[in-house]
Amino acid sequence: MARILLLFAHPVLENSRVHREFLNQIPRQEAITFHDLYETYPDFLIDVHKEKRLLLEHDFILFQFPFYWYSAPALLKHWMELVLEHGWAYGKKGTALSGKIWMNIITCGGSVEAYQPQGKNRHTVEEFCYPFEQSARLCNMNYRNPYVIYGTHRLDPEMIHREAINYRQLLLNLLTEKPVSLNTIQI
Ligand SMILES: Cc1cc2nc3c(=O)[nH]c(=O)nc-3n(C[C@H](O)[C@H](O)[C@H](O)COP(=O)(O)O)c2cc1C
């Protein structure tokens, strides 16, 4: 069974409608580790050693966050800057994350129509995610297209619940995938 690390970054979970419902649907399984970055590091003081250990212990690295200014909330960017170190995550000797899977799970206020070349935002979410895609490639990881929920402001509670059930199914499907071969890299 694959092991999933859910790196969750929502700066104001108390105001969340969508992610809050999603979190209720995370399957309670040992193979899934839920890690709330804003709760763990409210002061942005990231424990790099702990984060590296978590990464080594999992196959799927799922970054879950609301789209903020066409990217991730600040703590996730900070996490990337500190944790994905040269010589560990990338560079000639940086092979710790080789073969692991990187996938973003993103909620957007904007509609799917807005994220088109002719739409208000002029680019797709996949295009806005190029920095994540290339970061994954630099770390020799396998990048999967993001799982995106659009138009969150227009979702009523029933629609949000349905989206949350789909999200649960996504996690269950990932669990059945083949694990990445164990990495013996030390931190
Ligand atoms: C500071 C801020 C920036 C945002 N930027 C974007 C954006 O660039 N694109 C977008 O589609 N939605 C944007 N939104 C809307 C959020 O993505 C949306 O409210 C969130 O995904 C809903 O999930 P939640 O109910 O779990 O908070 C932004 C919201 C805030 C507060």
**Could you read off the pLDDT of 36-55 as tens digits, one per residue?**
999 999 999 999 999 999 99
Establish if 183 belongs to a structural domain: no
To test the pocket of ligand 1, the residue of 22, 69, 156 to mutate (highest count of ligand atoms within 8 Å of its CB) is 69
Cα 141 to Cα 6, 12, 65, 97, 109, distances in angstroms: 16, 30, 20, 6, 29
Residue nearest to atom 5 of ligand 1 (CA): 68
**Structure confidence by residue, pLDDT tens digits, 59-69:** 999 999 999 99
Q: What is the CATH number of the domain that holds 13?
A: 3.40.50.360
pLDDT category at 185 given cuts 50, 70, 90 is low
Establish if 185 belongs to a structural domain: no
pLDDT score for 187: 62
pLDDT score for 33: 98
pLDDT score for 168: 98
Establish if 186 belongs to a structural domain: no
Establish if 182 belongs to a structural domain: no
Contact present, 6 and 170 (Cβ < 8 Å):
no
**Structure confidence by residue, pLDDT tens digits, 7-31:** 999 999 999 999 999 999 999 999 9
Three-state secondary-structure class, residue 65: strand
What element of type H or E holds 102?
strand 101-107
Establish if 180 belongs to a structural domain: no
To test the pocket of ligand 1, the residue of 67, 126, 149, 161 to mutate (highest count of ligand atoms within 8 Å of its CB) is 67
Residue nearest to atom 15 of ligand 1 (CA): 109
Three-state secondary-structure class, residue 47: coil
What does the alpha-carbon distance between residue 158 and residue 155 come to, in Å, rounded to a whole number?
8
Q: What angle do CA 166, 175, 78 make, to 5 degrees?
A: 80
Given a cut of 90, whether residue 183 has pLDDT beyond it is no
CB atoms inside a 10 Å sphere around CB 128: 19
Query: In this structure, what is the dihedral angle of CA atoms 185, 133, 63, 90, given to the nearest 10 degrees?
Result: 20
Higher pLDDT, 128 or 186: 128
Given a cut of 60, whether residue 184 has pLDDT beyond it is no
pLDDT score for 128: 98
The HSE-up count of residue 130 (CA atoms within 13 Å, CB side) is 4
As a whole-number percent, the residues of the chain with pLDDT over 70 amount to 96
Establish if 181 belongs to a structural domain: no
**How far is the first Cα of the chain from the last one, in angstroms, to the nearest whole number?**
24
Q: How many domains does one find in the chain? A: 1
- Residue list, ligand 1 pocket, CB within 6 Å: 16-19, 66-70, 107-110, 152
162 CA to centre of ligand 1 in angstroms: 19
Question: Six-digit token pair at 187?
Answer: 């931190």
- Give the domain extent around 164: 4-175
To test the pocket of ligand 1, the residue of 24, 76, 152 to mutate (highest count of ligand atoms within 8 Å of its CB) is 152
With 0-12 / 13-18 / 19 or more C-beta atoms within 10 angstroms meaning exposed / middle / buried, residue 159 is middle
**Structure confidence by residue, pLDDT tens digits, 93-124:** 999 999 999 999 999 999 999 999 999 999 99
